[in-house]
Structure 1
Amino acid sequence: MADADLDALIRQLAKQQNKALTAAVKKRRDRAIALAAKAKDAESKQRQRQLAKDILEIGTATVKRLQMSADNAAYSYARSVRQAIDAAAAKKAVASAKPAKKTAKKASKKEAKKATRKAKG
């Protein structure tokens, strides 16, 4: 797993967290439904049912936000790595191009010196 892309790892961990969070939300909703079934009067029964609906709604919204946040983090990481690779490649291209220019200048200076020597001598 050492060579695995970290963006894929981020997405995988977020998926595991989402499954755990979804299970916890459903468990909590089921508890509220069970309390509604045990309720003695209609008002508390209705209140527990509404609470169960709210728990599920808020929990699924939280799961979606967590997934979106993980996707954004994974995408941002992958983009940063691509930019770093491109920058390193550009730096390497510039570094390899500079010595070629220097050697061309040195060669032209040597040729100029030879030409002046031939002209004098």
Structure 2
Amino acid sequence: MADADLDVIIRRLAKQQHKSLTAAVKARRARYLALAAKAKEAAGKQRLQQMAKHALEEGSAAVKRLQMSADNAADSYARAMRRAVDILAAAPVAAPKKVASKAAKSKPAKPAKAR
């Protein structure tokens, strides 16, 4: 995983979150439908069934937004890395300069004054 690109990791984490959120949305829908099955009044049953429908719709929309956001982030990262590689490849390589030793450039130390 150390050598993997971050865009691949972003997509993998988003897929895991997508699965867990989808399962949570389905569980919430199932809960409302179970409550609707237990309801004694027709109006209460219909209200709970409608809540189950809305929970599924809103949850699915949230999951899609999360997936889209993760895809955008992964694509943006991959694009930025490609651009950075292209810029570095296009830049001329400068020859390293020889660095003279510090000892040759520095002045001899002055003796300290006695007090």
Q: Aligned partners of 2:10, 2:39: CA distance in 1, in Å?
A: 43
Q: Which has the higher helix share?
A: 1
1:51-81 deviation line (CA, Å, top 9, x unaligned): 0000001111111111110000000000000
Q: Aligned partners of 2:7, 2:29: CA distance in 1, in Å?
A: 33
Per the alignment, residue 87 of structure 2 pairs with 87
3-state SS of paired residue (2:93) = helix
Larger-Rg structure: 1
**1:1-12 equivalences in 2 (<5 Å):** 1-12=1-12
Runs of 5+ unmatched residues, structure 1: 100-121
Matched letter for residue 35 of structure 1: L
The percentage of counterpart residues that share the same residue type is 66
3-state SS of paired residue (1:3) = coil
1:24-54 deviation line (CA, Å, top 9, x unaligned): 0000100000000111100000000000000
Q: Aligned partners of 2:70, 2:44: CA distance in 1, in Å?
A: 38
- After superposing on structure 2, the runs of 4+ consecutive aligned residues of structure 1 that deviate more than 6 Å are none
Q: Aligned partners of 2:80, 2:12: CA distance in 1, in Å?
A: 19
RMSD: 1.1
**1:17-36 equivalences in 2 (<5 Å):** 17-36=17-36
3-state SS of paired residue (2:87) = helix
